[in-house]
């Protein structure tokens, strides 16, 4: 739909996989709070707070003053304020960011301007716990085994099994 391409003619990954649901044109100005779902592209001026779990695209003519809490931010315009992203922040040329940014992944193009502090934070604790639970489930499945390939746990190995292992030696073919 509306996809902004960089000078090399390539769109960003985040832009390619998300369709823009709302658009604020270059000649518009809005002040207040913005909450949304889906992807939003701002080419006008915005002053206030923005909150979403989805994508925010700031076009080349876009200017935002305020605090931003979203899933992914793609900056080609200007942001003055703090940005917190759950997934990723992309700062592309001729983009300009004045303020602090916090995200697990940050991408900056050559020629983009950044004045502030950058903090690469890990995923939330809840997301980490879910990943650990999934890993434990996989390990348990591996430990169980199937049929004759099932392994005995160390505590279940009997003394008789140990003597069989020690007493028997492999026979070499002649």
Per the DSSP assignment, residues forming a β-bridge with 106 are: 89
- Angstrom distance (rounded) from CA 24 to CA 15: 16
Closest alpha carbon to 46 in 25, 70, 58, 29: 29
- Angstrom distance (rounded) from CA 170 to CA 172: 6
Tell me the pLDDT band of 8, cut-offs 50, 70 and 90. Answer: very low
Note the pLDDT of residue 124: 63
* Cβ-proximal residues to 38 (8 Å cutoff; 6+ apart), any chain: 18, 19, 20, 21, 22, 54, 55
* Residue 125 · residue 108 · CB < 8 Å: no
Tell me the pLDDT band of 21, cut-offs 50, 70 and 90. Answer: confident
Lowest mean pLDDT among 6-10, 33-37, 73-77, 170-174: 6-10
Instruction: Show me where the domains of the chain are located.
Output: 13-120, 125-165
Model pLDDT for residues 22-62, shown as the tens digit of each residue: 899 999 999 999 999 999 999 999 999 999 999 999 999 99
Model pLDDT for residues 116-167, shown as the tens digit of each residue: 999 997 766 666 666 666 666 665 555 555 555 555 544 455 555 555 555 5
- Angstrom distance (rounded) from CA 76 to CA 96: 7
């Amino acid at each position: 739909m509306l996809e902004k391409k960089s000078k090399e003619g390539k769109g960003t990954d985040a832009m390619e996989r998300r369709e823009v649901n709302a658009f604020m044109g270059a000649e518009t100005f809005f002040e207040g709070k913005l909450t949304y779902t889906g992807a939003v592209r701002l080419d006008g001026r915005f002053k206030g707070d923005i909150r979403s779990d989805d994508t925010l695209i700031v076009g080349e003519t876009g200017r935002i003053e305020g605090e931003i809490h979203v899933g992914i931010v793609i900056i080609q315009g200007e942001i003055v304020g703090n940005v917190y992203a759950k997934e990723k922040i992309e700062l592309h040329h001729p983009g300009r960011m004045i303020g602090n940014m916090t995200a697990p992944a940050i991408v900056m193009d050559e020629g983009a301007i950044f004045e502030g502090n950058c903090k690469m934070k890990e995923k939330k604790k809840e997301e980490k716990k879910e990943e650990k639970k999934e890993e434990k489930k996989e390990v348990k499945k591996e430990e169980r085994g199937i049929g004759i390939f099932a392994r005995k746990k160390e505590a279940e190995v009997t003394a008789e099994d140990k003597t069989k292992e020690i007493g028997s030696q492999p026979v070499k073919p002649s």
